[in-house]
Chains A and B, each alone.
Chain A
Amino acid sequence: MAKKKEVKSLSEVTVRFAGDSGDGMQLTGTQFSDTTALFGNDLNTLPDYPAEIRAPAGTLYGVSGFQLHFSSSDIYTPGDNPDVLVAMNPAALKINLKDLKPSATIIVNIDSFDAKNLKLASYASNPLEDDSLQGFNVIPVPITSLTAAALEGSPLSTKEVTRCKNFFALGMMYWLYGRPIEATLSWINQKFSKKPEIASANAKALKSGYFYGETTEVFATSYTVEPAPLPKGTYRNISGNQATAYGLAAASVKSGLPLFLGSYPITPASDILHELSKLKNFGIKTFQAEDEIAGITSAIGASYAGSLAVTTTSGPGLALKTEAVGLAIMTELPLVIVDVQRGGPSTGLPTKTEQADLMQAIYGRNGEAPLPVIAASTPSDCFYMAIEACRLATKYMTPVILLTDGYLANGSEPWRIPHVEELQEIKVKQRTEKEGFYPYSRDENLARPWAVPGTPGLEHRIGGLEKSHIYGNVSYEHENHDFMVRMRAQKIKNIENDIPDLEVRFEQEGDLLVLGWGGTYGAITEAVLCARKEGLKVSQAHLKYLNPFPKNTAEVLKKFKTVLVPEINLGQLSRILRAEFLVPVVNFNKMKGLPFKASEIEAEIMNLLGGKQ
C-alpha cells in the first residue's frame, strides 16, 4: 500500500514529450491535450516533428516533440520553456535540454540510454551518470522494461509490446498531474476496435504507468492545475486544420451552397482534406486531384457550376496555383484558397511553421490581380475566418486567400463551440432572371452576376481574355482594359467598408504599438500582457485582414510613436505598411521554423521602451 503522497497546486505547467518519430509522441501529446482540455484547463500546443515519417531510430534528426502549456487561467502560447520534459531516448534529451527551465523536471526512459543510442545522440558519456544534468530534477524510469513487464503474457510480439511504451509514459504523466485516464481509455478502445489485443495492451500500459506513478517512490509529489475560469459554454479542443474544415462545412450550410474541395495532399494542409473527406453526409464533394493545379482548377470549374468551391494547400502549392488564381480573378468567380504556410522557399521546412507567404498571397500573380487576403490568428479562429473567406468570395465574386500556418494548423486550444444559429447566414444570389442579364454587369458591390450553367436563357461565355465592361465579349480595347483593371481593383478595395476596424487593445495612442498578423497573436498577447505587468505602456493590435486593410489602419499607425511588427518572415507586413501608409515601423523577425516565444517579443518591447530586460 503506497503512502498518501503530497499534492501541490500549480497555476500553469509546460510539458514537452519527446522521442523518436516512431515513438508515438504526437499521439501521446494529443491525448494529454484532449484530456487536459476535458479537465477544464486552458491550453495551447506546439507539435514539432521531422519531415521524415520514420527517421532512423535514435538519431538526433529523428526526434519528434509535442509541447503543451496548460493553466488555471487564460493562456496564449504553448509556453516558452518546458517545466517538464519526457525524454524517451538520449537524442530526445540532447535536442530538448537547451529549451528547459533551469530547474525543470526530466523524466527519462533509462532503458534507451545504452551505448548505441548514446552514440547515435553523439553523447561521449552517459548524461545520466555525469554531472551534465545538474540542477535538473531527473527522474529515471525504465519505461520500456516496465511496459514489457506489465504486458507479460500478452500475445503481442516484443516489438509490438515495446510500441506500447508511450502509453505507459502517458499514464505516468496523467498521475503526475492528476488527470483522469478514462478519455484516453475510451479513445484506445475506439481506435483499436478491430485489433482488440492491441487495444488491451495499450490500455494496460496506460493503467500501469498511472499506477506506477502512484506507487513508486520516485515521484514524491503530484501536482494539480485547477480548471481555468473560461466563459460559460460547451467546449472542445480543436486544431487549426480541423477548425478550418469545420468552418468550410459551416459556410456551406449557412450559404446553402454545396461544398466542393479540389485539393492535392501537402504538408501541413492535408488534414483539411482528410476532415472534409469524412463529411460526405453533408453532401461535400472532395476531389483529390492529380496535382496542385488540378486542385484549384477543378475548384474553379465547380465554382463556375455554382458550388462553394475551395482549394487547400501550402506555400509551394500556392505557387503552382498562381496562374489559376489569376483566372478566377479575371472571370470573377468565387473561390476560397487556404494556404497553410510552412517554412520556405521551395520545399523548405515542410513540417515547420512560417509566415513568409504574405507577399505571395497579396502580390504573387501576373498582371494587376488583387484579391482579398485574410489570416486566422488562433487555431479556433480558423473556423471563423474560413466562414469569412466564403462570405467575401461569394459576395464579391472573387477568389479569397485565407492564410493560416503550420503552428495554427497542428496546434490546438479549447474552443467554446458556437451554436449553428449564432453563425451568420451567408446570403448568396445566383442569377436566374433573363431580363437585363449581362455577364459583366455589376451590382452595388461591383460584383458581376453568378449565372451558373443549367440556368435557361443565361448562356454566356467567360474566359481569361479581357472582357468588355457589362457585355463580357472579348475586348482588346485600350480604354476598356484600363477601365476593367481599375474596376477589379476598386471592387477589392471596397471590401474595406465591409470588414471590422482594426481594434487597439489598451492605450489608443502612445509610445508603442505591437502590431501582428496571423499565428503570432498568442505570443504577442502574452508578451504585451507581461510587459504591462512590468508597468510598461504598450498597446496591441492584430490584423486579420491583410488586403484590403481595415479602413482605420493608417489612423491607428499614426497614433503611436513606434510600431513594432513581429513576423516569422523577413518583414513582409512591415514592408507593405511602409509602402501603403508611409509610416516607419520596426521589424522584429525570426525564421527558425518555430513560433515566437512570448519572452522574445517581451524583450524587444523592453528594448524599445528603454526598460530593463
Chain B
Amino acid sequence: MANNIDSNEVKLTAKDFVTDQDVRWCPGCGDYSVLAQTQRVLPDLGLPKEKIVWISGIGCSSRFPYYMNTYGFHTIHGRAAAIATGTKLANPELSVWVATGDGDLLSIGGNHFIHTCRKNIDLKILLFNNRIYGLTKGQYSPTSEKGKVTKSSPYGSIDFPFNPVTLALGAEASFVARALDRDPKHLQYVIKRAAEHKGTAFVEIYQNCVIFNDGAYSSLSEKDTRDDNVLYLEHGKPMIFGKNKDKGIIVDGTTPKVVSLTEGKYSVNDLLVHNEFDKSVVLAYLLGQMSNHAEFPTPVGIFRQISKSTYHEDMEKQIQEVKAKRGEGDLEKLLFSGNTWEVK
C-alpha cells in the first residue's frame, strides 16, 4: 500500500463512505459523479475510515466532506491545502484529501496550492474545475475562458485563464493528472492512482456546472464528439485518438501536431509515446498546453508522476537526526542551559 500507511486491510464498501446527510448539490451537477467515484475507490485502498480525512475550502465542491463518512473539515475559502498540510504533518499516518474548486484552489488559494506542490506535501488534491463561480451564482473564475460572459463580465471576461495542469507542473507537483466527471471508470482509475502516490497528487476534474456553465465540457463528454476531442494518456503507449483511432500526436521540434494515420504519411511508429515517469517536465508540459485548444484533443490521464521525498518524511527524518545528535529533548536541561548562576 502506498502512503506508508501501515494498517490492517479492511473490507469496506462504497456504502460505508456515505453519510446520513442529504446531498444538496443541484440535480445533474458533476459533483455527484466525483462523490460516487470516490466512494467506490476508497474501499480499494484498504484503509480504515478513521485514517481518512477530507478537507475542503469554500464553494460548491467544498461541501464534499459532509457527504463522506470519514473525518472531515469544511474550512474557509482558499485555505484547505494549508489546513490539510498541518493535519498531514501533525499525523503522517492519515490519508489526507483536499476537495476544492477552481476559485478556491486557484484564485483565493493559489498561493497555498503552489507551495503545497513545491514542498511535496503528501496530500491528494481533487480540483473540481467547472470554470465558473457557482456558489456565488455565476461569476467568471480563474479558469474561465477569455471573453466569457458572466454576471461580473457582461461584456466578456478580459482575464487570461490559468491552466491548472501546467500550473501544477510549473510548481513541481510530483503527480499531475486530469479526468472527466462524465467518464466514471477513468475517473476512478485516476483517483486510485492519486491515492497511491507518495507526495502531492493533483487531479484536475473537468466538472460540469448545470446551472451556471452548462456544457463547458460537452465536446469532451458527448458521445458523438468526445472521441475526436479527448486524448487518453497511457504510459508507454503512442498517442492515438479519434473515433476510428485514426489520429495521433507527433512533435515537430518543440511543437505538437495532430497527424492522420490514414493518409500514409505517418504511422503509429511516428507518434509520441507517453512516459508518465519522465524526469523532465517538458513532455508533460507540452501535453498540458494542448488542453482546451481548437487544434488539439484535450489530454486526460496521468501527465506526470515522479518520485521525490515528501515533506513529512523529511520533517520526521530531521527530528530523528537531531534526537540522535542531541539526545531526546530534556526540558529541565533546556531551562537550565546557557549561562546560569546561583543565588544562595
Residues in chain A within 8 A of chain B (CB atoms): 34, 37-40, 183, 227, 230-237, 246, 249-250, 253, 258, 260, 262, 279-285, 287, 289-291, 293-294, 297-307, 309, 323-324, 326-327, 331, 416-420, 452-465, 473-474
A417 and B82 CA atoms in complex are apart in Å by 37
- Asked whether, in the complex, the Cβ of A289 is within 8 Å of the Cβ of B339, the reply is no
B38 at the interface (CB under 8 A from A): no
Chain B residues with CB below 8 A from A458, complex form:
50
A-B contact pairs, 29 of them (CB 8 A): A230-B343, A231-B343, A232-B344, A234-B336, A234-B340, A234-B342, A235-B341, A236-B337, A236-B339, A249-B334, A260-B90, A280-B319, A281-B325, A283-B329, A285-B319, A289-B115, A294-B82, A294-B111, A301-B88, A306-B91, A327-B76, A416-B343, A453-B53, A459-B50, A460-B72, A461-B65, A462-B74, A464-B75, A473-B21
- Asked whether, in the complex, the Cβ of B111 is within 8 Å of the Cβ of A302, the reply is no
Chain B residues with CB below 8 A from A284, complex form:
329
B263 at the interface (CB under 8 A from A): no
B303 at the interface (CB under 8 A from A): no
- Asked whether, in the complex, the Cβ of B19 is within 8 Å of the Cβ of A461, the reply is yes
Which of A231, A300, A453 lies at the interface centre, i.e. has the most chain B CB atoms within 10 A of its CB? A453
A288 and B262 CA atoms in complex are apart in Å by 56
Q: How many contacts A-B (CB < 8 Å)?
A: 207
Chain B residues with CB below 8 A from A258, complex form:
90
Given A281-B329, A297-B82, is A462 in contact with B72 using a C-beta cutoff of 8 Å?
yes
Residue of B nearest to A417 (CB): B335
Chain B residues with CB below 8 A from A306, complex form:
90-91
- Asked whether, in the complex, the Cβ of B327 is within 8 Å of the Cβ of A281, the reply is yes
Residue of A nearest to B78 (CB): A293
- Asked whether, in the complex, the Cβ of A304 is within 8 Å of the Cβ of B87, the reply is yes
Residues in chain B within 8 A of chain A (CB atoms): 19, 21, 48-51, 53, 55, 58, 65-66, 69-76, 79, 82-91, 93-94, 111-112, 115, 315, 318-319, 322-323, 325-329, 331-332, 334-344
- Asked whether, in the complex, the Cβ of B115 is within 8 Å of the Cβ of A285, the reply is no
Which of B55, B93, B340 lies at the interface centre, i.e. has the most chain A CB atoms within 10 A of its CB? B340
- Asked whether, in the complex, the Cβ of A38 is within 8 Å of the Cβ of B339, the reply is yes
Residue of A nearest to B87 (CB): A301
Q: Which 7 residue pairs are nearest across A and B when measured between Cβ atoms?
A: A301-B86, A463-B74, A282-B329, A298-B86, A461-B72, A302-B90, A305-B90
* Least distance between B95 CB and chain A CB atoms (Å): 10
Chain B residues with CB below 8 A from A457, complex form:
50
Pick the contact of A297: B83, B319, B331 (CB < 8 A).
B83
Chain A residues with CB below 8 A from B335, complex form:
246, 250, 417-418, 420
- Asked whether, in the complex, the Cβ of B341 is within 8 Å of the Cβ of A300, the reply is no
Chain B residues with CB below 8 A from A305, complex form:
53, 86-87, 90-91, 94
A230 and B329 CA atoms in complex are apart in Å by 30
- Asked whether, in the complex, the Cβ of B75 is within 8 Å of the Cβ of A250, the reply is no
Residue of A nearest to B324 (CB): A281
* Least distance between B14 CB and chain A CB atoms (Å): 16
- Asked whether, in the complex, the Cβ of B87 is within 8 Å of the Cβ of A453, the reply is yes
Given A234-B336, A301-B55, A418-B335, is A293 in contact with B82 using a C-beta cutoff of 8 Å?
yes
Beyond the given A302-B86, A305-B86, could you list 4 further A-B residue pairs with CB under 8 A, ordered by the A residue number? A249-B334, A281-B329, A290-B111, A324-B79
- Asked whether, in the complex, the Cβ of B336 is within 8 Å of the Cβ of A260, the reply is no
A40 and B329 CA atoms in complex are apart in Å by 29
Interface secondary structure of A, over-half rule: mixed
Given A281-B323, A297-B82, A454-B50, is A236 in contact with B340 using a C-beta cutoff of 8 Å?
yes
Pick the contact of A464: B76, B91, B112, B323 (CB < 8 A).
B76
Chain A residues with CB below 8 A from B66, complex form:
461, 463, 474
A34 and B327 CA atoms in complex are apart in Å by 27
A243 and B83 CA atoms in complex are apart in Å by 28
Given A235-B341, A418-B335, is A459 in contact with B76 using a C-beta cutoff of 8 Å?
no
Residue of B nearest to A461 (CB): B72
Given A40-B343, A281-B329, A285-B319, is A236 in contact with B91 using a C-beta cutoff of 8 Å?
no
Given A236-B339, A301-B82, A454-B94, is A287 in contact with B89 using a C-beta cutoff of 8 Å?
yes
Given A454-B50, A462-B74, is A253 in contact with B331 using a C-beta cutoff of 8 Å?
yes
Given A280-B319, A297-B83, is A419 in contact with B332 using a C-beta cutoff of 8 Å?
yes
Chain A residues with CB below 8 A from B91, complex form:
305-307, 452-454
Given A232-B344, A253-B331, A301-B82, is A463 in contact with B75 using a C-beta cutoff of 8 Å?
yes
A327 and B82 CA atoms in complex are apart in Å by 13
Residue of A nearest to B83 (CB): A301
Residue of A nearest to B118 (CB): A290
Which of B72, B73, B85, B340 lies at the interface centre, i.e. has the most chain A CB atoms within 10 A of its CB? B73
Residue of A nearest to B344 (CB): A232
- Asked whether, in the complex, the Cβ of A262 is within 8 Å of the Cβ of B94, the reply is no
Pick the contact of A298: B71, B82, B323 (CB < 8 A).
B82
A427 and B316 CA atoms in complex are apart in Å by 26
Chain B residues with CB below 8 A from A473, complex form:
21
Given A453-B94, A462-B74, is A279 in contact with B329 using a C-beta cutoff of 8 Å?
yes
Chain B residues with CB below 8 A from A456, complex form:
48, 50
* Least distance between A272 CB and chain B CB atoms (Å): 15
Residue of A nearest to B71 (CB): A453
A210 and B115 CA atoms in complex are apart in Å by 52
Chain B residues with CB below 8 A from A419, complex form:
332
Which of B55, B323, B331 lies at the interface centre, i.e. has the most chain A CB atoms within 10 A of its CB? B331
Chain B residues with CB below 8 A from A417, complex form:
335-336, 340
- Asked whether, in the complex, the Cβ of B50 is within 8 Å of the Cβ of A455, the reply is yes
- Asked whether, in the complex, the Cβ of B339 is within 8 Å of the Cβ of A183, the reply is yes
A370 and B171 CA atoms in complex are apart in Å by 39
A13 and B83 CA atoms in complex are apart in Å by 51
* Least distance between A240 CB and chain B CB atoms (Å): 16
- Asked whether, in the complex, the Cβ of B76 is within 8 Å of the Cβ of A324, the reply is yes
Pick the contact of A459: B49, B82, B94 (CB < 8 A).
B49
